[in-house]
Each structure stands twice: as C-alpha cells, then as structure tokens.
Amino acid sequence: MPAKAKYRGRFAPSPTGPLHFGSLVAAVGSYLDARAHGGEWLLRMEDVDTPRNVPGAAAGILATLEAYGFEWDGPVLWQSRRFEAYAAALERLIAAGLAYGCTCSRKEIADSGSHPAIDGGLAYPGTCRDGLPAGRTARAWRLRVNDEPLAFVDRLQGRVLQHLESDVGDFVLRRADGLFAYQLAVAVDDEFQAISDVVRGADLLASTPRQIWLQRCLGYATPRYAHLPVASNAAGEKLSKQTLAPALDVGQAGPTLVCALNFLGQGVPAELAAAPPAEVWAWGLAHWAFSAIPRRPSIPLAILRYAPAFPRRPASASGRS
Ligand code: GLU
Ligand code: ZN
C-alpha cells in the first residue's frame, strides 16, 4: 500500500493507571521512529472506556511524559470528546449494511456453540446477522466480517494472517452500555490524525486485522504497523497494573529511558547510565536503529543490562516459579 507522504506517528495511552515501563517502551519506540523519519508524533488519550478511567491518571500520564522529555506535536486528542465522530462512523457502517444490531447476552453467545476467539473471549457466531428476533431490541452493534484471509506485514513481527470470521467473529463497535469499542475508536482516530505509522506493543498485534478491516469498510488508508516486543516479568506475563508493574519514577527519567532504549536493542553506552534525560534523548535521536529492535513479541525484563530495580512480586507470590 502506498505510504502517506508525511510520517505521522502517535502514542495512545489509556488513563487506567500511571505509565509503567511497558508503556514507556511503546512511547520511546514510537517517538524515536517518528523523529528518525523527520515525522510528527501525536498524543491521543484513549479514555473512551470511561468506566475504566482512573481519576487523575490522564494528568499524571501527561506530567510523566513531560518529565521524561517527550515533545508531542499539536494538542492532545481526547477520545472522550469524540463521541460524534464515532457515532458518525457507526452510522455509515449501518447505512452500508456492514454493521448490525445484536441482542445477544454474554450467556446467549456462550450457549450458542461459539468457540474461543484469538485473543480471549468467544468468537461471535453471527446469531443476529440476519435480523433480530421479533420483540427484541439491539443492545450492541457489530461489524460484519468474512473468512477471507486478512494478512499484513508488520515491520517487526513479519506476516500476520487472520481469518476474522473464525478468529474473532463479527465484532462489537458499540457496546451494550452505549460506549464505543476501542477497535472503532482507534480506527477512526488513526484516520482523523492522519497517522502513517503505528508503533505500539505486540500485545495489540491480534487487534490489527480488525482495525485494518474497519479501515477498509470505512474507506480509510491503512497505516504501516510495527509491533514492539512487550516487557514481561519472569513468569512471562506482560507488565501491567495486574502484574504489579510499578509506576514510572519521574526522578529516574534518564536511567529509565536508557533502560527502555536497551530493551529496544539500542545498546546505549554505559557512560549514559546515569545521564539526565536530555543527554539520553540526544544520543537516542542520533543513534536510533530500528533494525536493532528484537523481532520478538515479548522479552522478559530479567535479561536487561541496565535494568532499574523493579520491585519484586510480594514474597507470598514469589515461590511459584
Ligand atoms: N490505548 C491502548 C493501550 O494503552 C493502545 C492502543 C494503540 O496504541 O492502538 O494499550
Ligand atoms: Zn446477537
């Protein structure tokens, strides 16, 4: 596919908690790839799932990014203010016969012979595709998919292939609680912000075919994708709030940036281990080597060279391995 002329990258955190090392890796990778291409780097606050937003988290994320020396282009895009844009996209899909109302409860889907989806949950078996049973109203809205192979070539992870119908099923665009789904919001916003290059964690690799399908249904361009390895703990679990990833320490910005760069295979000179963020950025901007990024979906933090001291799991949980 033709790349858009101008490189425009983005970082799109969800304000469900403070930034942690895993989020920093995605921020650093997307930022340096954009700058190395002479491109722009936009910030989007993915607060569309309002019940999951944690009060103060968005402000904390912005303050942390500033303390770490990130400079974004233009104003922050807030998904919570984009309701009309998502509604308009859904209307278009409904009008085109591509999206339809679904009345199924979770239990009905579980009882209807569905099988596991590629990234958790159940693949929707298409129950409401041809219309709702009389007397029932739509709870959610879903996008029709098919079972043609949908493939793309990720700049890091290589070729990714899904058959959306069997791997995912017709997926939700607007949930029963009225909120728009991440998949729709991200497709609409990547187009709205004219993103040419998505650089993010490989935990989102399995979502990408859904987003590409949405782009095609809405007549959008498809950006290039690079899915970075995600940091995992010794047990192989992705760093996240659930796995007790600590919040980034704003007093340790330089060393933690060094650590993120090394995680991305950049081989920062040892002299910079205790340097202030500006010096680390100067080195990173001058030496960014995309080709040095490990082409793996995840990397345990234990193999890092300049790993900052990550708190261990509580002693009670550490006897498992
Ligand atoms: N908001 C998502 C997250 O924090 C990232 C979505 C994306 O980069 O497309 O995991
Ligand atoms: Zn249904």
Pocket lining: 165 vs ligand 1, CB cutoff 6 Å? no
CB 216 within 8 A of CB 98: no
Pairing type for strands 140-143 and 99-102 reads antiparallel
pLDDT in tens, 25-59: 999 999 999 999 999 999 999 999 999 999 999 99
Question: Within the chain, what is the greatest distance between any pair of CA atoms?
Answer: 71
CB 202 within 8 A of CB 264: no
> How many whole angstroms from 308 Cα to the centroid of ligand 1?
24
- Residue 235 confidence (pLDDT) above 80: no
Pocket lining: 19 vs ligand 1, CB cutoff 6 Å? no
Calculate what percentage of the chain has a pLDDT beyond 70. 91
Q: Whose CA is nearest to atom 7 of ligand 1?
A: 12
Helix, strand and coil percent figures for the chain, each rounded to 5: 40, 20, 40
> How many whole angstroms from 45 Cα to the centroid of ligand 1?
9
pLDDT in tens, 187-203: 999 999 999 999 999 99
CB 17 within 8 A of CB 59: no
Residues 6 or more apart whose Cβ sits within 8 Å of residue 321: 234, 235
Which ligand ends up closest to the CA of 132?
Answer: 2
Calculate what percentage of the chain has a pLDDT beyond 90. 83
Which ligand ends up closest to the CA of 190?
Answer: 1
Query: Radius of gyration (Cα) for the chain, nearest Å?
Result: 21
Tell me the three state secondary structure of residue 129. coil
| Residue to mutate, 31, 46, 225, ligand 1, most ligand atoms under 8 Å from C-beta | 46
Q: How far apart are CA 121 and CA 8, in angstroms?
A: 33
Q: Where are the alpha helices (DSSP H) in 111-207?
A: 164-167, 182-192
DSSP assignment letter at 269 = -
Pair of tokens at residue 22: 């895993």
Considering only 69-78, 103-112, 288-297, which range has the smallest mean pLDDT? Answer: 103-112
pLDDT band at 234 (very low <50, low <70, confident <90, very high): confident
Pocket lining: 231 vs ligand 1, CB cutoff 6 Å? no
Q: How far apart are CA 262 and CA 80, in angstroms?
A: 34
> How many whole angstroms from 248 Cα to the centroid of ligand 2?
42
Task: State the pTM of this model.
Answer: 0.92
Pocket lining: 46 vs ligand 1, CB cutoff 6 Å? yes
> How many whole angstroms from 44 Cα to the centroid of ligand 1?
9
> How many whole angstroms from 69 Cα to the centroid of ligand 1?
20
**Mean model confidence pLDDT for the chain:** 91
How far, CA to CA in Å, does 163 sit from each of 49, 121, 174, 201, 234?
27, 16, 22, 22, 32
Q: What is the pLDDT of residue 138?
A: 94
Q: What is the pLDDT of residue 314?
A: 41
Q: How far apart are CA 59 and CA 37, in angstroms?
A: 29
Q: Which residue in 185, 288, 200, 226 sits closest to 23, CA to CA?
A: 200
